[in-house]
Amino acid sequence: MQAQMVTYPVILHPDNGEYNVEIPDINNDTWIRGTSAAQALILAKEVIGKTLAGLSELPPATPTNQLPVSDQDIQHLVTVDLSAFRLVEPAE
């Protein structure tokens, strides 16, 4: 199976040592929370992969210069191999 790599921006919002993560292009602005920046990015990758794996048409990624961020926010790009999230059909 050929890999299908996609990249989407996320915004990490620090909050008392944890991170709220905004994924603007997934389901009209998905939010998740991680206990560290690393965990938050792993969760973002899983959400993006699971959400988009079954779609035939992917939402466009917003350019990072168009994201509304404040001074304490952190922009990051998350790259996902959608083939890793697609169900493999058993051979007959």
Residue with tokens 């998350």: 78
* Residue 29, phi-psi category: left (phi > 0), alpha (psi -120 to 50), beta (remainder): left
Over residues 12-57, the pLDDT tens digits come to: 999 999 999 999 999 888 999 999 999 999 999 999 999 999 888 8
Task: Quote the percentage of the chain above a pLDDT of 90.
Answer: 75
Distance between CA atoms of residues 40 and 59, nearest Å: 21
Backbone angles phi, psi at 44, to 5 degrees: -60, -45
pLDDT at 66 over 80: yes
Q: Are strands 18-23 and 5-15 parallel, antiparallel or unpaired?
A: antiparallel
Backbone angles phi, psi at 76, to 5 degrees: -150, 150
Mean pLDDT value across the chain:
90
Fold assignment, 5-84: Double Stranded RNA Binding Domain (3.30.160)
In the chain, domain spans: 5-84
Its pTM stands at 0.86
